[in-house]
Amino acid sequence: MAVLVAVLVVVVAVVVVKEGYGVHSFEPQFLEPLQNVTVTEGREATFTCVVDHLGGYRVAWIKADTKAILAIHNRVITHNNRMNVIHSDHKTWELKIKNVRRNDSGEYMCQINTDPMKHQVGHLNVVIPPDIIAEESSGDVMVSEGNTVRLVCSARGFPHPRVEWRREDGRKIALRPAGQSKNEVQTWEGSELVLERVTRDDMGAYLCIASNEIPPAVSKRMVVQVHFHPVVRIPNQLVGAPVGTNVTLECEVEASPKSINFWTKMLDDQGPQIVDSRRYVNKEIEVNQYTLKMHLTILDLQEDDFTYYSCTAKNSLGEVKGKIKLYEIPLPKPLTTPQEVIVGTIGGEDSQTQHTHRNQLIPLSDDKQAASPRQGKNSATHPPPPSRPRNTHAVPYSPEEPTDRGGGGRVMPLLPIHLLAALLLQLPPAWYRGLW
């Protein structure tokens, strides 16, 4: 009997040593804390549990808040096929959750079946990027000027998104609360944006932006159309131009919805509509979504073009006209054509022909170079003219029949003899001696 007991003790001792529960074996212990995990919905989450000296003990994964056993050692217990357990290097145990969902969030426990049990807990936080619920949000809006617009932007996500409003073109948002003065802001926070007593300046695209620090942020574009009666502005109501030139008439139109625009020439009470042709060119230049410029260019102006012109803008809310008067600017008269003037030299042997404007007085020079009427081969044979006093006499042009004198040039007759005698009496004696 004693021998049998001794054999049993040895067997138990061998089994204990074999299973790692010997007298000198160590208790299992966690080498690292179980980390919290934050993951975006749809991604994969991983919990890592590192255990040393596990021996014959087992590691289990449990959903702590529901007490549901997910896996024991290498075996997955749960029927959730998105969960899996991976064991590596005899110390590391991983719980993987694929395609995580919002309801996967909570406490997860890594437990060792010691007595008492050892465990670690990690938290899974599943975040959801922002999303705008189109069915619960506003779309494009059309409203008459002066009414109220209410824009709604419904967003979801985790954490709950923050909603901010901006204008697409960067302009400020005009807020006009009842009983308060107008306030302009660059951004407005909240799921609802109210625009009271809207004007045409409020027209445009508004952006609803939802964000919760989980990328990416999302936005929705809402267009506000403000309808109003057309308005015509005329920069220049009087336009002048000469015949034969080109001229452009301009009208500025504001209208919403967009207007039909045309020009008429006011020949009668109802002038004919002007269409594009060789001399009439219509052009429209868009300034913004409700403003444009009408240009009518008239080429090669004629006499019958000088009249009133009307620019007309018409939409579903009404019609308006603007009037421009086109008048003629007379061209300046051309300058007088230069005429030929024949100047007779008193006391000389020849006449000198010069060209000048009508009625211009040409003084006769008293130097010797001016006394020679022509420069040529025979000019040296003529004696120099006598010196003359500084008094000169200019003969204005008088249209008469040309003569053949002086080589076929037009020559003016000399002064009458009595005028010449009176002039000679006033000359000094030295001048007479020069004649002889």
Residue 224 CB neighbour total at 10 angstroms: 20
Of residues 376 and 413, the one with the higher pLDDT is 413
Dist CA 339 CA 353 (whole Å)? 12
List the beta strands (DSSP E) in 257-370.
Answer: 260-266, 273-274, 280-286, 291-298, 308-315, 318-328, 339-343, 352-356
> Is a pLDDT exceeding 70 seen at residue 164?
yes
Gap between the Cα atoms of 260 and 116, Å rounded: 88
Contact 77, 20 (CB under 8 A): no
Instruction: Give the residue range(s) of CATH 2.60.40.10 domains in the chain.
Output: 29-128, 133-229, 234-328
CATH topology of domain 234-328: Immunoglobulin-like (2.60.40)
Which of 237-241, 284-288, 343-347 shows the lowest per-residue confidence on average (mean pLDDT)? 343-347
Q: How does residue 6 score in pLDDT terms, banded at 50, 70 and 90?
A: very low
Residue 231 has pLDDT above 80, yes or no: yes
pLDDT digits (tens, 9 = 90+) for 26-57: 899 999 999 999 999 999 999 999 999 998 99
**Contact (CB, 8 A) for 272 and 291:** no
> Does the pLDDT of residue 230 top 90, yes or no?
yes
Tell the CATH superfamily of the 29-128 domain: Immunoglobulins (2.60.40.10)
Q: What is the DSSP string of 150-188?
A: EEE--EEEESPPEEEEEETTSPPEEE--TTS--EEES-E
Closest CA to 413 of 395, 435, 427, 392: 395
Determine contact, residues 204/169, Cβ cutoff 8 Å. yes
- In this predicted model, what pLDDT tens digit does every residue of 103-152 receive, in sequence order? 999 999 999 999 999 999 999 999 999 999 999 999 999 999 999 999 99
pLDDT (tens digit, 9 = 90+) per residue, 245-274? 999 999 999 999 999 999 999 876 666 777
Q: What is the mean pLDDT of residues 414-419?
A: 58
Q: What is the pLDDT of residues 380-400, one digit of tens each?
A: 444 455 444 444 333 343 444
Confidence of residue 331 (pLDDT cuts 50, 70, 90): confident
Q: pTM (2 decimals)? A: 0.62
CA distances in angstroms from 268 to 154, 239, 262, 309, 327, listed in the order given: 59, 20, 17, 11, 17
The DSSP H or E segment spanning 431 is helix 429-435
pLDDT at 422: 62
pLDDT at 369: 42
Length of the chain measured in residues? 436
Q: List all residues 6 or more positions away from 399 whose beta carbon is below 8 Å from its beta carbon.
A: none
* Spatial contact of 340 and 357, defined as CB atoms under 8 Å apart: no
CATH superfamily of 133-229: Immunoglobulins (2.60.40.10)
DSSP label at residue 227: E
Identify the sign of the CA torsion 253, 257, 260, 264: negative
